[in-house]
Amino acid sequence: MTIIPSKSSSGIITGVFVLLYTFCAAQSGNREEVKAAYDPGSIPEVINTIPVGFTFYLSGNHQESTKGFLQGQIRWNSLEVSSPQGIVHNGQFTFNREKIWKNGHEADFEIKMRGKVINCKLPLPYVKKIRFNLYTDSLKKGEPFYLNVEGKFSSGRTYPLDTGMVAFCKSGGGKLTGQSLLVSHQDTGTHAIMVYSRLKMDPQIRDSILVPVKILPNPVNLPTEQEVLQSR
């Protein structure tokens, strides 16, 4: 740095102070930016606890990362990390999916390190579409029929969803319990059931399907061997 000479003592003091401040900032590695990431091997689409990490981009094209999947040198016990959408403990982020959804599908982090505070965001995958993908083409009376629903996520991945994320209802006969549909043997009037599913966090994301009930032919009572012999 160049200091412009000044005849006044106050100018000399100011120049020395600026030079000293710049030197100290460079020595301490002044943190200018931080980026958050989650382990690409994790499944944040359906699992609410995932490994996360932070990379600090410092002045002088220098960067440091946290320990864990980023394989950095910054220990987690040297950081204070908080998020309105969940809890971070030793590199594991347990988040509230509904809060993530309401926050634009992002987690906000506040990081305190060596007396400094810096903020960053972490986008997480979210459901864009749901669809029924049934294991069989019809329901058999007396047997629970599982209503398999899959979610297409912003990450491009597809995963089965459960009642924690999807709500179900039906019209017609049968009994709906959780994610299973049941028609009793005594029910002779139900031939098909319309089933509806919707994403709890966004009811506009929905799907429906008509589930046929398998109609078995009336059992044929064959004669016994003794009856056949007696008829001769």
pLDDT in tens, 21-44: 333 333 344 557 999 999 999 999
| Best CATH choice for the domain 127-212 from the list 1.25.40, 2.60.40, 3.30.450, 2.40.50 | 2.60.40
Are 105 and 124 a contacting pair, CB within 8 Å? Answer: yes
pLDDT in tens, 41-83: 999 999 999 999 999 998 778 899 999 999 999 999 999 999 9
Report angle CA 160, 44, 161 to the nearest 5 degrees.
15
Structure pTM? Answer: 0.77
- Ranges of each domain in the chain: 9-123, 127-212
Give the Å distances, CA to CA, from 35 to 31, 79, 120, 222, 225. Answer: 11, 14, 6, 75, 81
